Copies of this chain bind each other. A is one copy, B any other.
Amino acid sequence: MGFQKGALDPFPLADLVCRETNMKSKGQRVGVVVPLEVEKRKKPDAVARLQTLVDRDLDDVNDAIRASMASAVPLIPQLADYLISTGGKRLRPMLVLAAAQITGNEDRHHIYLAAAVEFVHTATLLHDDVVDGSELRRGKRAANLVFGNQATVLVGDFLVSRAFQMMVKAKSLRVLDILSNAAAVISEGEVLQLSSVNNVETTEDTYLKIIQAKTAALFAASTQIGAVISKATAAEEDALESYGRNLGIAFQLVDDALDYSGERAKLGKDVGDDFREGKVTLPVVLAFRRGDETERAFWTRTIQDRDQSPEDFDHAMELLARHDTVEATIDRARHYGKIAADALAIFPKSELRDVLQDLIEFCISRAH
C-alpha cells in the first residue's frame, strides 16, 4: 500500500516539504519549499514508509474498525464513519503495530488494540469538537455541525465503549491497566485544558502537563501496549513508551504552532481556532511572557476577556513573529524529538527503526 494523497493523506502539510540545510544548528536553517509531487518521487516520506512496513496489519485494523462501527442504530455508523473512514491518519494504530513488530510480536491481538486506540482518539475528537464548538475537522464540516451536539456526544461515548470491548479481546490485564490509566489521564488533561482556557498567565509547565495528558499519553500507551502484547523486555517497553510519549509531545507542539501558520489555510483547516477560542498554547504563552505591557494587555483583552475584533488575529500573528514564538515552539518540539530518537537507539538497526526515527523529523517538519 503506497502513500495516498487525499483522504488518507496523514500529514497534508507534507504537500509542502521543507528541505533544510544544517538541521541541528539553530538559527542557521535555510528552508526551501518545494511541491511534494516533486519530492515524493525521490523518496517516500516517513509515514508512507511506515504504512508500507505495517501494510497487512493496517488492512486488518481497518477491517476491525469497520466491523466495530457496525450497529443496528443507523446514526452510529453514519456519524462514526464520517470521521473515521474519511480523514483518519491512523498514526496511533500504526504506532501500536510498529511497536509490536519491532518487539517480535507473534499473535494477532495487537490488531484489536490498534483499532481500539483509533476509537479512543476519534471519541476524543468528537467530544473536543462539541466542547470547542469547532467548525472544521480534517477539512470537512465538524461532526457536531452536521449531526448535532447530542448525537456527537453519544456516538463519542459509543466509540469509547467499543474501544473498551476491543481492548478486552486482547485478553491482557496489563494492557487494560495501561489503557485505562491513559484514558483517565487524557480526560483529566481535557478538563485541565478547559480550566486554563482563557488564562494568559498559564505557564509553560502547565501547558506541557496539558499536552502530555491530552496527546502524549495516548501516543505513549500505543507504543507501550505494542511492546506489552509482544512480551517485550522491560527495557524495550520503556524505550517504546518513551518514544511514543516524546513523539506525542513534539507532535502536539507542532500542531499548536500550525494553528498560527499561514500555510494551514491551504489545507481547509481552521486557522487561528485556538486564538478565537481563547486557548492558551505555547506560541501565546511565550509571546505573553516575552511581550511588553501593551502587548500583554492585548493578550489579556483578546484571550482572557474574549473581546476580539476581526483584525486582532493579524495583530496576534505580528506579535508572535516579533518574538519568534512559533519558531521557539518548534524548537521545543525538536528537543522532545531528540529524546524520542535516542530512546529508540537500544533497538538493533532495522528499516523499521529508521522509519520510526525519521517519523519524528517528519512530524516536526510539518510546520515548514
- Which residues on A are within 8 Å of B, measured CB to CB? 71-76, 127, 130-131, 149-151, 153-155, 157-158, 160-162, 164-165, 167-168, 171, 173, 176-177, 180-181, 183-184, 186-188, 190-192, 194-195
In the complex, how many angstroms separate the beta carbon of A359 from the nearest chain B beta carbon? Answer: 28
B158 contacts A194, CB within 8 Å?
Answer: no
Q: Which B residues are CB-close (under 8 A) to A192?
A: 73
In the complex, how many angstroms separate the beta carbon of A177 from the nearest chain B beta carbon? Answer: 5
Given contacts A73-B188, A130-B153, A154-B191, 10 further A-B contacts (CB under 8 A): A71-B191, A75-B191, A127-B153, A150-B194, A154-B194, A160-B187, A161-B183, A161-B184, A168-B180, A171-B173
**Pick from B154, B161, B194: contact of A131, CB under 8 Å:** B154
* Subset of 20 A-B contacts with CB under 8 Å: A75-B195, A76-B188, A127-B154, A130-B153, A131-B149, A131-B153, A149-B149, A150-B194, A151-B194, A153-B153, A154-B190, A155-B191, A157-B190, A158-B187, A158-B190, A161-B180, A161-B186, A162-B184, A165-B183, A168-B180
Known A-B contacts A171-B173, A180-B168, A184-B158; A191 and B73 likewise in contact (beta carbons under 8 Å)? yes
Q: Which B residues are CB-close (under 8 A) to A184?
A: 158, 161-162, 164-165
B71 contacts A188, CB within 8 Å?
Answer: yes
**Pick from B72, B157, B173: contact of A187, CB under 8 Å:** B157
Using CB atoms, name the residue of chain B closest to A151: B194
State A103–B181 Cα separation when bound (angstroms). Answer: 31
A157 contacts B127, CB within 8 Å?
Answer: yes
Using CB atoms, name the residue of chain B closest to A163: B180
A154 contacts B75, CB within 8 Å?
Answer: no
Q: Which B residues are CB-close (under 8 A) to A190?
A: 154, 157-158
In the complex, how many angstroms separate the beta carbon of A74 from the nearest chain B beta carbon? Answer: 7
State A194–B148 Cα separation when bound (angstroms). Answer: 11
Q: Which B residues are CB-close (under 8 A) to A131?
A: 149-150, 153-154
In the complex, how many angstroms separate the beta carbon of A129 from the nearest chain B beta carbon? Answer: 11
B76 contacts A154, CB within 8 Å?
Answer: no
State A342–B186 Cα separation when bound (angstroms). Answer: 44
In the complex, how many angstroms separate the beta carbon of A162 from the nearest chain B beta carbon? Answer: 6
Q: Which B residues are CB-close (under 8 A) to A165?
A: 180-181, 183-184
A161 contacts B187, CB within 8 Å?
Answer: yes
Using CB atoms, name the residue of chain B closest to A159: B187
A164 contacts B180, CB within 8 Å?
Answer: yes
